[in-house]
Amino acid sequence: MGAVAEKRNSTAFRDSANKALGLNPQDANISKAYLLVGFIALLLGGVMGVIQGLNRAGVLELPTWLNYYQILTAHGLLLVVVMSSFITIGYFYAGFSHTLGGLLPKVRKMAWIGFGLKIFGFVLVVIPVLMNEASVMYTFYPPMAAHPMFYFGLVFIVLGVWMLAAGAFVNVANWRKNNKGQHLPILAFFGTGVFVLLVGATAFVAVEVIFMIIPWTLGWVDGINVMVSRTLFWAFGHTAVNIWYLTAVSAWYVIIPKIIGGTRFNDYLTRVVVIALVIMNITGGFHHQIIDPGISLSIKYMHVFMSLAIGFPSLMTAYAMFRVFERTGRRKGGKGALGWLKKLPWGDVRFLAPFIAMAAFIPAGAGGIVQSTNQLNQVAHNTMWVVGHFHLTLGMTVVMTFFGISYWLVPLVFKRVLTPAMNKVGIIQTILWTIGMTIMAFSMHAVGLFGSPRRTSFTTYGDFSSTLGWDPYMSAIGVGAVMLAIAGVLQIYAVFNMMFFAPKGKTEFPIADVEPDEAPTPYFTERWGVWVVLMLIVVAMAYVPPLIDMIVNAPPGSPPFKTW
């Protein structure tokens, strides 16, 4: 008993050392800027979402100067490109600052340059979208072609990402030099993985945009190889999705155990999960192209295998989370098979929102396995099913984790506190978002199975009998969308309150400690050079043979088309 108490004391000591470090004001400014832009993008993206939902439900007719495809493009870009990346960066840069003893002055400068590049790029993207010159959706598949300015904007966004990744690597390398033989603090370890993947992902899209699309839209070349461009896009797009997921996972492993008053899962296994997700992530891109022609079956099979392989670290995560919840609940006196559940802080939005996010990943992940299966993909492909799937994965699992993070990170960087009133707003918001997203995602999955296509402006198909049956589901999508919009407004209200109006005070950076008696993690986990080389080998295995095949056996290139 005495030994246990002593161990608890040493944990408490380390915690208070953590607290004392805080976040220096100059570093906090960086996170402030990123979080502000991230949540504004959420607001605007949410508005687009509800307009679309109501339009597809047949309730809202759009004015002639604003069409459905324009809004769909803006919705995808705002949420997938802007909101997710800005919140991820704001969160990890705060994490680097806190756990690595502050950002280096030059890294701070890089973070601001990256911010400028991203914002400038985004402005270039938005102008043609507003002018209806770029309704190509966030996937911008050739041969659809937008105004060249749209693609120049994308280039600047990628340059911004690279600047931030370089900053992250410089800071991490500096810490390692000064702390030889030590393990990178766990949140910085996750952050390193995320920035490695961000560079890996954006490299593909940079090649696509700079070497293929820009010369083609400027008229320097006549045709574009559609297959190659789609392949490069999905090597990026698929990885991007997993980057947001890894960001959410970092909060589950590192932050949530602290919020529920427990310790985190085994450090060694946590690092193995990160490494596995980094090495195996990029190689699943063809599960988005299962019905594309021109890719051999064996290559598709390899990608599907690799996609399912990352299910393994995800299952490890599911186990780890429940292990931590049960251990903590039992230490707080929870008895019996499920009594520990009652001891978890359900009334604390910092726990409730990410808990629901995790639970949502169970059906979301199952749906992903369905889509990765060749025969089932034929049924679901490009239907509303897919939209239901990524609103569960991104719209619930990732975004609700971000919401949970916002309730401590926003007050932390703005030197304020989470009040009981904002916590209550957060709980109501979480419940509304959960119900809205459940209704919307369920209806989308169902109507997708009946064949309703995604990315299609409202139509009654001439009242064709088979499609009339879709109407009740489309109406339900509208109902879910309205609930989501209300929940979104509440979230933004809470974020702005915590930014500018909540009482001043000190908020702790919640980083959980390991169990005091845990065996030390072997040092090899820190060999990032090896992990990156392994990642490159796996990526080469998955992408070099099909790309060579597509280039050598290329059909005539396609001219640009404006389909809207």
Question: Which residues contribute to the site for Cu ion (CB under 5 A)?
Answer: 238
What distance in Å separates the CA atoms of residue 226 and residue 331, rounded to the nearest whole number? 58
Residues 487 and 60 sit within 8 Å (Cβ to Cβ): no
SS (H, E, C) 172-203: HHHHHHHCCCCCCCHHHHHHHHHHHHHHHHHH
Structure tokens given for 455:
């990315």
**496 binds ligand HEM per the rule CB under 6 A:** no
Nearer to Cu ion, 264 or 288 (CB): 288
Q: Rule CB under 6 A: choose which of 32, 327, 381, 455 binds ligand HEM.
A: 455
Q: Which is nearer to ligand HEM, 49 or 185 (CB)?
A: 49
The distance of closest approach from Cβ of residue 76 to Cu ion in the complex, given in angstroms and rounded to an integer, is: 15
CB of 475 to ligand HEM, least distance (A): 12
Does 50 interact with ligand HEM (rule: CB under 6 A)?
yes
Between 72 and 228, name the residue whose CB sits nearer to ligand HEM.
72
Please report whether residue 484 would count as binding ligand HEM according to CB under 6 A: yes
Residue type, 403: F
Secondary structure letter of residue 398 according to DSSP: I
Is residue 379 exposed (0-12), middle (13-18) or buried (19+ Cβ within 10 Å)?
middle
Both tokens of 271, joined, read: 């690092």
Among Cu ion, ligand HEM, none, the one that 304 touches (CB under a kind-dependent 5 to 8 A) is none
When CB distances are held under 5 to 8 angstroms depending on the partner's kind, the choice from Cu ion, ligand HEM, none that residue 429 binds is none
Q: Does residue 53 bind ligand HEM (CB under 6 A)?
A: yes
Q: Which is nearer to Cu ion, 238 or 258 (CB)?
A: 238
Closest separation between CB of residue 104 and ligand HEM, Å? 32
Q: 439 with 479: CB under 8 angstroms?
A: yes
Q: Which of 454, 475, 516, 534 binds ligand HEM (CB under 6 A)?
A: 454
CB 132 within 8 A of CB 67: yes
212 binds ligand HEM (CB under 6 A): no
CB of 41 to Cu ion, least distance (A): 22
Nearer to ligand HEM, 423 or 456 (CB): 456
Per CB under 6 A, contacts with ligand HEM among 262-291 are none
Task: Give residues with Cβ within 8 angstroms of 180, minimum separation 6.
Answer: none
Between helix 25-56 and helix 105-130 the angle, nearest 10°, is 20
In whole angstroms, the minimum distance from the beta carbon of 386 to ligand HEM comes to: 8
**Nearest distance, CB of residue 530 and ligand HEM, angstroms:** 33
User: CB neighbours of 396 closer than 8 A, spacing ≥ 6?
Assistant: 356, 357, 360, 361, 364, 433, 434, 437, 441
Smaller CB separation from ligand HEM, 81 or 550: 81
Supply the minimum distance, in Å, between the C-beta of residue 288 and Cu ion: 6
Among 37, 137, 186, 194, binds ligand HEM (CB under 6 A): 137
Residue from 227, 243, 387, 550 touching ligand HEM (CB under 6 A): that is: 387
Pick from Cu ion, ligand HEM, none: which does 238 bind, CB < 5 to 8 A by kind? Cu ion
Closest Cα partner for 516 from 1, 3, 2?
3
Q: Which residue is nearest to ligand HEM (CB)?
A: 49
Q: Which is nearer to ligand HEM, 488 or 546 (CB)?
A: 488
User: How far are the Cα atoms of 34, 263, 274, 491 from residue 316, in angstroms, in the given order?
Assistant: 31, 17, 11, 31
Whether residue 73 contacts residue 139, with contact meaning beta carbons closer than 8 Å, is answered with no
**Contact (Cβ atoms closer than 8 angstroms) between residue 42 and residue 34:** no
* Contact yes or no for 415/355 (Cβ under 8 A): no
By CB under 6 A, tell whether 388 contacts ligand HEM.
no
Question: What minimum distance in Å lies between the beta carbon of 287 and Cu ion?
Answer: 5
From 45-53, 226-234, 491-499, 539-547, span contacting ligand HEM (CB under 6 A)? 45-53
- Inter-CA distances, 304 with 1, 2, 205, 322, 525, Å: 51, 52, 21, 28, 27
Nearer to ligand HEM, 104 or 435 (CB): 435
Short-list 268, 233, 235, 265, CA closest to 249: 265
399 contributes a contact to ligand HEM by CB under 6 A:
yes
Write the CB contacts of 167 (distance below 8 Å, at least 6 apart in sequence).
Answer: 103, 106, 107, 110, 111, 114
Q: Out of ligand HEM, Cu ion, none, which partner does residue 300 contact, by CB within 5 to 8 A per kind?
A: none
Residue 387: CA atoms inside 13 Å, Cβ hemisphere, count? 28
The only residue of 112, 120, 138, 450 in contact with ligand HEM, by rule CB under 6 A: 138
Residue 330 or 455 with smaller CB distance to ligand HEM = 455
Smallest separation, CB 346 to ligand HEM (Å): 24
CA distance from start to end of the chain: 72
Cis-peptide into 143, omega within 30 deg: yes
Q: How many CB atoms lie within 10 A of CB 44?
A: 16
Angle at 459 between CA 453 and CA 465, to 5 degrees: 80
Q: How far is the CB of 465 from ligand HEM (least distance, A)?
A: 22
Among 481, 498, 514, 535, binds ligand HEM (CB under 6 A): 481
Give the interface with ligand HEM as residue ranges (CB under 6 A): 46, 49-50, 52-53, 56, 72, 75-76, 79-80, 84, 137-138, 387, 390-391, 394-395, 399, 454-455, 481, 484-485, 488
